[in-house]
Amino acid sequence: MSRVRKLMDKAAATTNSHEADAFSRKAAELIARHRIDPEALVEPRRDELAVREIALGRGAYVRARLALLMAVAEAHDSRVVFASTPTGTVAYVAGHVPDLDLIEVMYTSLHAQAATQMALERRATAAATQRHRRSFLFGYADRVAKSFDEARAAAYAGSQSPVAVDATGVSLARLERVQQVDEFVGQRFGRVRTARSSARAEVGGWSAGSAAAERADLGRQRVEGRRALGSG
């Protein structure tokens, strides 16, 4: 865990995007190899609101990476705003600091797992392979989001103490937490434009990505103080 924290600190400190990517990948490899619980990496801090920058790079897979990051962030009551910069697309994740730590670790791990599977997906031409892999990552992100929702619902159902929920089944405690984040985003970023829809995904790639996400190690997600997902 100490090595992972140091690698993540190096990734955050360097201004070289290649070095940052190398440090992040190495941290993700250690997390997966040693099956480290992401929660164990979160050091106790004040539950303050903050913004974390996560580089998404550039090219055909940026919007799919964004979809994966949003799946992880929204499951942990955080919001994502993104912008194009001279060095590529940057995502700004707003939320409570402990959640941001967990989101960064989980996104890095899930993206590394997806990239490994995507590398095995090939089609007749380079362009066809790229379209398929892009659709793969979109399908992967969609299934990850659904897995988090299912885990949260299962945690509510299995809770020994009643959880107060609204008409849509969302806990009132979570609604209050998300409202705090939404207000913070409004203050920090002002008016945010909705991005244009991304190009349609191919069914075959989407299905392959969804199936890969079923096998992914999602770590352990906190849901109202309970662990909803095992490490397997």
Measured CA to CA, the distance from residue 21 to residue 8 in angstroms comes to 10
* pLDDT tens track for 110-153: 999 999 999 999 999 999 999 999 999 999 999 999 998 888 77
C-alpha neighbours within 13 Å on the C-beta side of residue 148:
24
Positive or negative, the CA dihedral 107, 71, 215, 1 is positive
Measured CA to CA, the distance from residue 209 to residue 134 in angstroms comes to 9
* pLDDT tens track for 154-171: 776 766 555 555 555 566
Are 204 and 139 contacting, i.e. CB atoms less than 8 angstroms apart? no
**Over the chain, what is the mean pLDDT?**
82
| Residue of 165 and 91 predicted with greater confidence | 91
Please state whether the predicted TM-score (pTM) of the whole model is above 0.95: no
C-alpha neighbours within 13 Å on the C-beta side of residue 6:
4
The arithmetic mean of pLDDT across residues 81-106, rounded, is: 92
Residue type, position 94, single letter: A
* pLDDT tens track for 17-52: 777 778 877 887 887 777 776 666 666 455 789 999
